[in-house]
Each structure stands twice: as C-alpha cells, then as structure tokens.
Structure 1
Amino acid sequence: MKNIVSDQKKDRTVISGERFFSERPLFGREHLIVKDCEFDKGESPLKEVKDIIVEGGKFLWKYPLWYSKDIRVEGTYFGEGARAGIWYGENLEFTDCDIRAPKEFRRLKGLKLKDISIPDAKETLWHCEDVYLKNVSINGDYFAMNCKNVKADHLTVNGNYCFDGCENIEIDDSKLISKDCFWNCKNVVVRNSEIVGEYLAWNSENITFINCRIKSLQGLCYVKNLKVEDCFMAGSSLCFEYSSVSADIKDSLISVINPLSGKISAERIEKLILDPSKIDPEKIIIEAKVNIRLSEFDGIIPEE
C-alpha cells in the first residue's frame, strides 16, 4: 500500500477551529489541513476531496468522506449521526479515532485503520480492498464482508458473521468471538489467535489456522484444503464434516463427524463418527485416542 499522504511540506491551506452547519461546505477541495473543526448537521462535508489531513475535530452528520482520495485522519470523533461515513474512496488512513457510527468504510481501495474503536460496527468494512488493521476493536455483526487483501494485527471482533465472502486474509494475534466467521472465503491464514463461535469457516477454500485456540460447534465443515497446525480445540464438537483436512491438534475434541479426506491428529477424540454411506473412511487417517466410534450420527448435538 502506498504512502497515504506525504509528510513532505506542501502548500496546504489550514482550516482551524471552524464549525460548519451547511451541506457540502468543503466539497471538492484539495491540499487542506482541517484542524479541530466540527461538522454538524449538513451532509457530505468533505465529499470529492483530495490530499486532505484531518486532525482532531468532530463529524456529527451523514456521509462525511465520500469519493475522497489520499486522506489522513488523526484523533477525530465520528458521532452516531456520521453513519455511512466513508464510502467509495482510495488511499485513506485513520489513526486513534473514536468511531460511533455504523456502516462505515465501504467500497474503498487502500485503507489503514490503526488504534481504532468502533463500538457500533454493524455492517462495517464492506467490499474493501487492500486493507490493513492494527489495534482495532469491533463490536457488531457483519464486519468485513466481501473484502480482498486484508492484513490484521491485534484485531478484536465481538459480533457474528465477520469476514463473510473474503479473499486473501491474514490475521495475527487477534480475538474473534463470532458465529459463522470466515464463511465463503478463499485463502485465509490466522496465526496466534483465539476464535470462538459455532459454524466456523463453512464453504471455504484454502483456510489455515496456526497456533490458535478454537472453540466451535460444527466448525470447519465443508472446507476444501483446511490446515490446522499446532492448535488447541478443547470444547469443539462435530467438526470437519465434509472437509479435506490436515489437522495437528494439541489437546482433545468432543467429536469429529465425517471428514472427507486427510489426517487428523489429537490427544483424544471423545466421539468419532465415520458413516460409510456418507464418506469413504479409508480416505481419512485418525491419530488419536478415541472413546466412542460410531458408523452413523446419533443425533446428539452438544450444548455450547
């Protein structure tokens, strides 16, 4: 990702300490430093702008940064009314911002978020490409839908259905508490992270977890080319159904059901279900102490 806004000195106009109430007050402006300004009622205050630095200040109304390019925002507050705030832009960087509005960040190319908290992040970060997240805290459903080329470090998500339909994702040192996380994804690598939530990563391809803690009911099913390396999965049940899998698990599983092919190593599998009418048991290698072996599903779904 290229440098968002150059630190080299430019002939920028400084707008400082102003308060705006009208529609589109700075429409189409370029080469500005907007410092400690408040944008109150009035839509689209910085629409179609280019090469802008925003320092401090507040955005309190809708659509503050649409169709913007080469933007850096630092220490700025986005109130609840600033919903759907940053759409259709290119090369944007946000640092140390307090974002209270939902549906932010859509259809952007080249986005950096650092030291950001979004407590109402429902339907945030959709259809974005080339994204970097560091020290970002998210609370809300449907985070990061249909994104491409995302790298995240120390990301916290508390909300269901995150990263649905994404491609080329790398996540490190993060915590995701999310039902239906990583559905319909391709090329995902998660390292040194914790993932809690049922139905993890269904209908996906090329999914890798390395040194992670995973707890999931019916997780990691319908996955093509699934790798689970040096992970802990205590409390997980009915895993790996119809998945091609290579799994090295450092503790125990409650149950495994009908993996399609590959190898699963674990200390213990309490219940192993291999139904020859559904899969070919000869195509899966199990290296674990197994307490109960069944040739068909017994209908028991453990409670979370």
Structure 2
Amino acid sequence: MKNIDQQEYVGERPLFNAANLNITNTTFADGESPLKEGHHLTLEHDTFEWKYPLWYCTDVSAINTTLLETARSGIWYTHNIDMKQCLIEAPKTFRRASGIHLTNVQMPIAQETLWSCDDITLDHVSAKGDYFGMNSQNIVAHDFQLSGNYSFDGGRNIEIHNATMLSKDAFWNCENVTVYDSTIIGEYLGWNSKNITFINCRIESEQGLCYMDNLVMKNCSLIKTNLAFEYSSVHADITTKIDSVKNPVSGEITAPAIGEIILQEDQIDPSKTTITETGVTVK
C-alpha cells in the first residue's frame, strides 16, 4: 500500500483510478471526482470539499473523514464501503451503491440519501433530511435517529432496533419490515406496505397504518393515532387507548379502549375482524 499524507488536491480527477492507497490528513479541495474509480482505499482524517468524491469505487474504508455540504452526491455506484466516526454534511450521498456499513456517522443534511442501495448496516447513525433510504433493501439499523419525512419509501427487507424517527409518511410502499423498541412520530405511517411488524414500539400517527397487508403489532402503544387500520389486514396487540379505528379488512385488534370504531358494511365485512377492548392498560 502506498501512503499519502498531508496533501491538498485540486482540479478534476487528481487521483483517478487510484488503487491500494492509505490517504491521511489530506484535503480534496476544488475539483470534481477526486477518487473516481478508486479501489482498495483507506481514508483517515481526510476532508472532501467538492462534488462526486467517491464514484464507482470498491473496497473503501473511511475513519474520521468529513464530507462538506459542497461534496454533494458524494458516493454513487460504489461497493463495499465502511465508514466510522465520520461527518457527512453532503446531501444525496449514496446512490445505487452496496455493501454500505456506517458506524457512529452523522448526516445532518441527508436529503435524498441512501437511494436504491443494497446491503446496508447503520450503527449509531443520525440523519436529518427527507426521502432517506428510498427504494433501498437489506437494511439493518441499530440505535438510529432520523428527522425527515418520507423515509424508506419503497424499501425491502428492513430491520430496525432502538430507533427514534420523526418522519411523516414513513415506510410507504415497503415490504418485509420489522421495527423493534422504537419511537415513530409522523402522519400516515406505513401506507401501501406488506409484511410490516412493530414490536415494543411507541407510535404517533394521524390516520396511520392504512392500506397495509399483514400488519403485525406486538406490545405497542398508539398515541394520538386516529382512523387507524383503514383497509388493512392487521394483528395488533395495543397497550394504550386508540383514538379511532376505521374499516380494517381482517384480523384481530386488542386494546384497553378505542374511542371510536367505524365499520362501514358497504365497504368492508366487519365479521372478518375481531376487535376487543380489554379495559386494562399495560404500562
């Protein structure tokens, strides 16, 4: 491996098609695509200041590395990238990439980030921005924080643990999602999705959980959630009062109390859903 230390690069593609490099304490300033087509790169304490720094790369390790906001669209078509203790200010990072492993990474301007990507692990990652994770698949997240609407739209095979998500229209058009021990706050949660499971979760969602096929909720609380489960097949064990339930198509719903139950026989068959009010709130 060749070592590069304390350098500054400007201009377009200064290290195009580089391979087997350890790059430390280096700044990539004005100039697009500095490491395009790079392979087997180790980055540590580096700074990227301009667009498209890591396109079409393979086998990249980055530690304590920073992408400034101007390094937008920074990591596209790249495969096998491991980033630890990094700050990614740039929007539109990660597109059609795979083998993405992020640990202790902050993304404060994560607009349109992680689109159409595969094989993603997020460990102690925080992000702020709309349309996070759109059309991506095979995602595992632990200790994840997100503030941004329309997250994971079109996602497949997603497993999330210990998350806090402030996200309107989260998990739309998804398939095979399991969320554990998490808080989700936002309107219209989960519409048009299939095989979605929430376990030990706290959810606030106006008119959430509708148009869903095989929705499972185990030991979950629904706070400020009204008109829930419309046109959904659902198996829900809820520990708090539900404000209102409207026209579920099948399944079982159990809760201590339900403020209003709306069952319109001209739209659904009420006999296909069992609704039980236990009168007991589980803390």
Same fold (TM over 0.5): yes
Distance in 2 (alpha carbons) for counterparts of 1:272 and 1:225? 20
| Conserved? CA contact 1:251–1:266, under 8 Å | yes
Cα distance per residue 1:239-285 (max 9 Å; x no partner): 00000000000111100000000000000000110110110010010
| Conserved? CA contact 1:32–1:51, under 8 Å | yes
Distance in 2 (alpha carbons) for counterparts of 1:287 and 1:81? 54
- Superposed CA RMSD in Å reads 0.8
Aligned to 1:200: 189
Amino acid in structure 2 at the alignment position of 1:101: A
Offset at residue 130 of structure 1 (A): 0.4
Amino acid in structure 1 at the alignment position of 2:94: F
| Conserved? CA contact 2:205–2:223, under 8 Å | no
Check if 1:38 corresponds to 2:1.
no
Amino acid in structure 1 at the alignment position of 2:126: S
Q: 2:160 aligns with which of 171, 175, 178?
A: 171
| Conserved? CA contact 1:116–1:135, under 8 Å | yes
Check if 1:155 corresponds to 2:148.
no
Distance in 2 (alpha carbons) for counterparts of 1:146 and 1:189? 16
Offset at residue 22 of structure 1 (A): 1.6
Q: 2:107 aligns with which of 114, 118, 138?
A: 118
Offset at residue 77 of structure 1 (A): 1.1
| Conserved? CA contact 1:231–1:248, under 8 Å | yes
| Conserved? CA contact 2:37–2:55, under 8 Å | yes
Identity of aligned residues (%): 49
Aligned to 2:171: 182
Count residues with an aligned counterpart: 279
Check if 1:237 corresponds to 2:226.
yes
DSSP-derived class of the 2:168 partner = coil
Aligned to 1:265: 254
Distance in 2 (alpha carbons) for counterparts of 1:234 and 1:140? 24
Aligned to 1:145: 134
| Conserved? CA contact 1:248–1:266, under 8 Å | yes
Check if 1:48 corresponds to 2:37.
yes
| Conserved? CA contact 1:33–1:52, under 8 Å | yes
Cα distance per residue 1:203-260 (max 9 Å; x no partner): 0000000000001011000000000000011211110000000000011110000000
DSSP-derived class of the 2:271 partner = helix
Offset at residue 109 of structure 1 (A): 1.2
Cα distance per residue 1:123-153 (max 9 Å; x no partner): 0000000000011111010000000100000
Distance in 2 (alpha carbons) for counterparts of 1:289 and 1:19? 67
Distance in 1 (alpha carbons) for counterparts of 2:189 and 2:79? 31
Aligned to 2:46: 57
Cα distance per residue 1:150-197 (max 9 Å; x no partner): 000011110000000000000000011101000000000000000000
Distance in 1 (alpha carbons) for counterparts of 2:223 and 2:37? 51
Amino acid in structure 2 at the alignment position of 1:103: K
Q: TM-score, normalised by structure 2?
A: 0.97
Distance in 1 (alpha carbons) for counterparts of 2:49 and 2:224? 44
Gaps of 5+ in 1: 1-11, 291-304
Q: 1:275 aligns with which of 254, 264, 270?
A: 264
Distance in 2 (alpha carbons) for counterparts of 1:22 and 1:273? 64
Distance in 1 (alpha carbons) for counterparts of 2:99 and 2:46? 23
Aligned to 1:70: 59
Distance in 2 (alpha carbons) for counterparts of 1:20 and 1:109? 27
Offset at residue 289 of structure 1 (A): 5.9
Distance in 2 (alpha carbons) for counterparts of 1:80 and 1:183? 28
Aligned to 1:228: 217
Check if 1:255 corresponds to 2:239.
no
Amino acid in structure 2 at the alignment position of 1:161: Y
| Conserved? CA contact 1:269–1:289, under 8 Å | no
Gaps of 5+ in 2: none
| Conserved? CA contact 2:254–2:278, under 8 Å | no
Distance in 1 (alpha carbons) for counterparts of 2:33 and 2:109? 21
Q: TM-score, normalised by structure 1?
A: 0.91
Amino acid in structure 1 at the alignment position of 2:92: K
Q: 1:85 aligns with which of 71, 74, 88?
A: 74
Distance in 1 (alpha carbons) for counterparts of 2:271 and 2:173? 28
